[in-house]
Copies of this chain bind each other. A is one copy, B any other.
Amino acid sequence: MIDELKRFMIGSPIETARQTHERLSKKIALAVFSSDALSSVAYASEEILHILVLGGLAALSLSLPVATGIALLLIVVSFSYRQTIKAYPHGGGSYIVAKDNLGVLPSLTAGAGLLVGYVLTVAVSLSAGASAIVSALPQLDPYRVPMALLFVLLLTIANLRGLRESGLIFSVPTYAFIATIFSLLIIGMYRYLTSTIVPVTSVEHLEPLRSASSDIGFLLVMQAFAAGCTALTGIEAISDGVPAFKKPEWLNARTTLTVMAGLLTVMFLGITFLAQQYLALPAESGNPETVLSQIGRGVFGGRGLPYSILQAATATILILAANTAYADFPRLLSFLARDRYMPRQFATLGDRLVYSNGIIVLAVASSVLIVIFNATVTALIPLYAGGVFISFTIAQTGMVRRWQRLREQGWQRGMLINGIGALTTFIVAIIVISQKFFLGAWILLIIIPAIIAMFLAIHQHYVTAAKQLSLEGLEPPPPLRNTVIVPVATLHRGVINALKYAEAMAPGNVTAVHIAMDEEQTAKVRAKWAKWGGDTPLVVLDSPYRSLVRPLIRYLDEVDRRWDNDVITVVLPEFVPARWWHNLLHNQTALLLKGALLFRKNRVVVSVPYRLEE
Bound CA–CA A426/B390 (angstroms): 76
Bound CA–CA A461/B585 (angstroms): 9
A544 at interface (Cβ–Cβ under 8 A)? yes
Of B16, B458, B544, which one neighbours A546 at CB under 8 angstroms?
B16
- Residues in B with CB closer than 8 Å to A545 are 13-16, 351
Q: Using an 8 Å CB-CB cutoff, how does the interface string of A493-534 with B read, 1 for contact, 0 for none?
A: 110110011011110000000000000000000001000100
Residues of A563-614 contacting chain B, CB below 8 A: 567, 569, 575-577, 582, 584-586, 588, 598-599, 601, 603-614
- Do B461 and A474 touch across chains, with their CB atoms under 8 A apart? no
Interface size class of A (residues with CB under 8 A): 35 or more
A481 at interface (Cβ–Cβ under 8 A)? yes
Oligomeric state, in number of copies?
Answer: 2
- Do B546 and A349 touch across chains, with their CB atoms under 8 A apart? yes
- Do B343 and A544 touch across chains, with their CB atoms under 8 A apart? no
- Do A465 and B344 touch across chains, with their CB atoms under 8 A apart? no
Interfacial residues, chain A to chain B (CB-CB below 8 A): 13-17, 343-345, 348-349, 351, 458, 461-462, 464-466, 468-471, 474, 476-477, 479-482, 491-494, 496-497, 500-501, 503-506, 528, 532, 544-547, 567, 569, 575-577, 582, 584-586, 588, 598-599, 601, 603-614
Pick the 3 closest A-B CB pairs, nearest first: A469-B492, A505-B505, A480-B504
Bound CA–CA A273/B16 (angstroms): 85
- Nearest residue in B to A497 (C-beta to C-beta)? B477
- Nearest residue in B to A498 (C-beta to C-beta)? B604
- Do A471 and B492 touch across chains, with their CB atoms under 8 A apart? yes
- Residues in B with CB closer than 8 Å to A613 are 468
Distance between A523 CB and nearest chain B CB, rounded to angstroms = 16
- Residues in B with CB closer than 8 Å to A481 are 504
- Do A17 and B544 touch across chains, with their CB atoms under 8 A apart? yes
- Nearest residue in B to A490 (C-beta to C-beta)? B469
- Residues in B with CB closer than 8 Å to A15 are 544-545
- Do A501 and B567 touch across chains, with their CB atoms under 8 A apart? yes
Most B C-beta atoms less than 10 A away, residue of A464, A469, A528 = A469
- Do B604 and A547 touch across chains, with their CB atoms under 8 A apart? no
Distance between A590 CB and nearest chain B CB, rounded to angstroms = 12
Bound CA–CA A216/B493 (angstroms): 69
